[in-house]
Every structure is written in C-alpha cells, then in structure tokens.
Structure 1
Amino acid sequence: MNPDARETWQQAFAPPTTTPVPARVRDLAEGAALEPVWENEIGGLTFRARGVEGVRYIKYGPLNAETSMAVEAERMGWASAYTPVPRVLAVGADDEHEWLVTSGLPGLSAVDPRWTAEPATAVRAIGRGLRALHEALPVDECPFDWTVPARVANAAGRGIVLPPALREPPPIERLVVCHGDACAPNTLVGDDGAWSGHVDLGALGVADRWADIAVAAMSTEWNYGPGWQDALVEAYGISPDRERLAYYQALWNAT
C-alpha cells in the first residue's frame, strides 16, 4: 500500500451501510444479519454476519490471483494450529467471483476508533502480537515462502520490474513465518488492550522477520500519525535496524 494513500485506505475500511449485498453473500449468511465492514481497492467486500451461531465474516470479491481467497484459506488453516486466527468455515468460487467465510475472533481491529483514540496501546499490542506470531509459527514446518526471491518473482509475474537495489536484500537476521501483511488493521486488540488474534493471512510465509516488522512500523504512520515506528519495534522487543526497516519498506511500496 502506498503510504500516501492513507485517506483512500480509511474510506475503503468503512463502506457505506447501504452497500448492496451480493446474492451469494446472502446465501452464505443463511439468514444472519449483515453489516459491511470492509471494501478493498479491487471491489472486494467483507461483511460481518451476526446469527444465532455467533459472528462470522464473509469475504466476497472478483477473482484475483494476487489476493486469492483459496490461498488465504490454506494459510489460515495451517496457522490455526499454532496461533489465534479465524477458522475457515467455507471457501469457494465461480467464473467471476470468490468467497471465504470465517469465524469471528475476540477483539477489534487495531484501527477501530476505539484504538485509534489510544495509539500507544494499539501500537504496543501490534508489536507484541507480531512477536508472538513469529514465536508461535514453526519455520521448519511452514510450506509457504515469502522470502525476497519469491516476492521478486511474484512481482515480475505481475509485470513489475524492481530496481537492482531491491533485488539484493540485507543478510537475513532471523527467519520466521511472517504474517505477510502485518499492517495495523490486521491485528485484533481485546478489551484489555492486548492483542487477541491476526487476520488477512493471504501472504503468510517464511521470510526475515524484518519484512513484517518494517511494514507494521510503517503502517503506524498511516493509522496513528508520525512518531510511532520506533515504539512498535520496541514493543516487538528489539532495537530498530534502520537498514532493514528502510529496505523492506521500500520493497513493500514497490510491489
């Protein structure tokens, strides 16, 4: 995400309550009350479904290889054995659209107004939650790759030619299973101010932990204003590494 697009992102986060509900979403909701909670840049929608069986989330959007819901479902299914992530209830597609239904988790997004009003608490939860994710997911058992060569190849497949400087990353400091999109919205925060889970795991894979840390730190600027990057890194439990932060933030913006 372009860091200059904060206003656009905020608009995408909260679609109008009058947003039309696709017929497929109504079928998947099985009579539950629906509330639109997210619209992304390619027209994908996420609805909260409240019914007698609790809260579910229904993602629905155009087929798109870069944001495949089937890919996300596979990664969430793997990660759910080790850390709090949504449970996959259904996934499917037709000729034009795809959908994913997941269980709800306790807590609110770290960019809910409840937490944007308390940025110190939110940033601390994001940093600690990211460290917990990295410690919980076993690198040796992870079948998914998010290393720089994999990302460079993925970008090339989408017609993006990266400058030579971005094709030569700093030496790996520590391999972990990265979230892959560790932006602030994807950490959930409980009533106690502690992280309670992670969502949107479509790019999860093995990489240097700074690939996640850099993006999480950068996203604090978009969501809480300047001055929070170092606080996030410190909440993670390490000191800022300027070279790796700069590299992985530039890679994120370029891809």
Structure 2
Amino acid sequence: MAELTIVHPPETAFGEEIEIPAAVRTIAAGRPLTPVWRNVVGGLTYRIGSEYFVKFAPASTDLPLAQEAERLRWAARYVRVPEVVASGSDETGVWLQTRAINGWSAVDGRWRPDPATAVTAIAEGLRELHTRVPVEECPFDWSVERRLAKSPRDLGDAHPQHRDLDIDVAWERATSPPPIDRLVVCHGDACAPNTLLGEDGRYLAHVDLAALGVADRWADLAIGSWSLSWNFGAGWEDLFFRAYGIDPDPERIAYYRLLWDLGS
C-alpha cells in the first residue's frame, strides 16, 4: 500500500476559516495542507500533499482516534484500509495520520450520474469485510450488549421515524434484540461515504473504522442500506441486498436502525 496516493479527496471542506492545529502543522512539516472535512463535533481532516491524510480531534471532543488507529492496524492484515503512519496526543487533542489510497468515496460526484455503481460497490465491500476478516481472531467487540451499555438513551437527533418514539418504549425494544443471524467483524459505521471505489467503479477499501468489532452482520447491513437514501435518494435498498447476496430481514433491519438512533 505504500505507493498508493489519493488524488480525488472528498468534495466537502470546512466551509469557514479554522485555525490549523499546531499538531497538524508539525505533522505536515511544511507540505501543503488541504482541508477536507469537519464533522459536527469539531473533528478535522486534512490532506497532506497527495500522500497522506491526518485527522485531528480537539481535546474538547471524545472522537476515538486512538481506537481507530488500533483497529486500522489490525484490520489491515485482512482487507484494504488506510495504512496508519502515526498517531498520538497532547493537551490540545488527538491525531491520526494515514497513508492515502487512490480512490473515490462512494458519495463522490463521480458516481452521482451512476449511483447503481456506488451502491453495488458498497454492498460488495461489506460482503468482503464480513467474509474475509476472521471473527475468532478479532479482539474488538461491537455487540448489542456493549452498545447498550454506552448508549445515552436519547432520540433527540434520531431519524424522523424514531424521533417521536417514547424513550421508554424505544429502550424496551432495544433491550429485546432479535436472535443473532451470523456473527462477523462489522465495520461499525457502514454509511455510504465510508466505502472507497477504484477507477473501475469496484469496491476498493474501507475507511473510518473506529467502531469495528464483532457483531451480527445485520448491524452493518441495516445502516449501510439505510444510508443509501441519505446519499442517493430512495429506491436503492433492493439493489444493495441483491449485490450483497441476501434477502432483506425487516425485523433485524428495524432493530439495528433503532439501536443506531439510540446513539450506541
């Protein structure tokens, strides 16, 4: 992977002037810095030249970049993910530097005229992750029990289909999960932007793996399919499930979408 560089960064930048963190300047060492992404809690992503990316989480946030670095290093044995170059922290925050991969996000404008290509790649990428990464060797847990233990029990930022649900009712449903279908190593954030496609439009790599861990495959499939409507509009779920090679399971889909909205 060392020779790969990404030449097609995501199209969304910060949208406002933000001071570059000192740690990021140090890592860049005079190389050009391009702002790529700012998330809702203040985490920043920059491209360094054409060879690297660096994520920075201010100390005021709880973004799990150290956790992500650990998971990336482990997952790289089995599937293509960004290579960790360096990670660290100081009193200002935490950072993660990775080597770039030559590909496009599944939600890049390149695929907007042809969302079927992106949807197929997302599904095939998840299938590869779920089949190639050995469950018995994975030291990370993304089980329902672990997620419920960390849940804030809040639906304030939930999807409209859950936002008006009584929290006690929601919690009762969440604490009564369906039987496990198949344990796999899940991505943990299988939303469409976290799959990279190659020049040929096929699945290339996974990114943003801070929550990677063992769970029922429907924990990924429910969210991966749900995110398609957010990025490509309605009507793509059938293709997603066909490309993955599975029939939709309404009960498990509904359960894992509610669990997601409960913030766990």
Tell me whether the two structures share a fold, i.e. TM-score over 0.5: yes
Structure 1: any 5+ residue segments left out of the alignment?
1-11
Q: Answer yes or no: is 1:115 the counterpart of 2:111.
A: yes
Flag the structure with higher helix content. 1
Q: Which residue of 2 aligns with 1:225?
A: 233
Would the alpha carbon gap of residues 65 and 81 (structure 1) be closer, same or farther in structure 2, given more than 3 Å must change?
A: farther
**Whole-angstrom distance in 1 between the partners of 2:221 and 2:145:** 18
Would the alpha carbon gap of residues 112 and 17 (structure 1) be closer, same or farther in structure 2, given more than 3 Å must change?
A: farther
The CA RMSD measured in Å over matched residues stands at 1.8
Instruction: Give 1:159 shift.
Output: 6.1
Instruction: Give 1:46 shift.
Output: 0.3
Instruction: Give 1:195 shift.
Output: 0.8
Q: Which residue of 2 aligns with 1:134?
A: 130
Query: Which of 100, 103, 125 is the matching residue for 2:99?
Result: 103
Aligned residues: 239
**SS of the counterpart of 2:96?**
strand
Instruction: Give 1:116 shift.
Output: 2.6
Q: Answer yes or no: is 1:46 the counterpart of 2:45.
A: yes
Instruction: Give 1:242 shift.
Output: 1.0
Q: How does 1:26-65 map to 2 (within 5 A)?
A: 26-50=25-49, 54-63=50-59
TM-score computed with the length of structure 2 as normaliser: 0.86
**SS of the counterpart of 1:101?**
strand
1:87-115 residue CA offsets vs partner (Å, 9 max, x unmatched): 11111111231110001112111111112
Q: Which residue of 1 aligns with 2:172?
A: 164
Q: Answer yes or no: is 1:252 the counterpart of 2:260.
A: yes
**Whole-angstrom distance in 2 between the partners of 1:23 and 1:250:** 39
1:32-69 residue CA offsets vs partner (Å, 9 max, x unmatched): 2111111111111100111xxx5101001223775311
1:135-156 residue CA offsets vs partner (Å, 9 max, x unmatched): 111100001000100100111x
CA contact (8 A) 1:17 1:35 kept: no
**Whole-angstrom distance in 2 between the partners of 1:15 and 1:90:** 23
**Whole-angstrom distance in 2 between the partners of 1:23 and 1:66:** 19
Amino acid at match of 1:154: K
Q: Which residue of 2 aligns with 1:81?
A: 77
Using the TM superposition, name which of 59-68 and 175-184 deviates more.
59-68
Instruction: Give 1:19 shift.
Output: 4.2
CA contact (8 A) 1:106 1:190 kept: yes
**SS of the counterpart of 1:67?**
coil
Amino acid at match of 2:21: P
Amino acid at match of 1:98: V
Q: Which residue of 1 aligns with 2:164?
A: none
Once the two structures are aligned, what percentage of the paired residues are identical? 51
Query: Which of 148, 152, 164 is the matching residue for 1:152?
Result: 148
Would the alpha carbon gap of residues 64 and 108 (structure 1) be closer, same or farther in structure 2, given more than 3 Å must change?
A: farther
Amino acid at match of 1:130: L
Instruction: Give 1:165 shift.
Output: 0.7
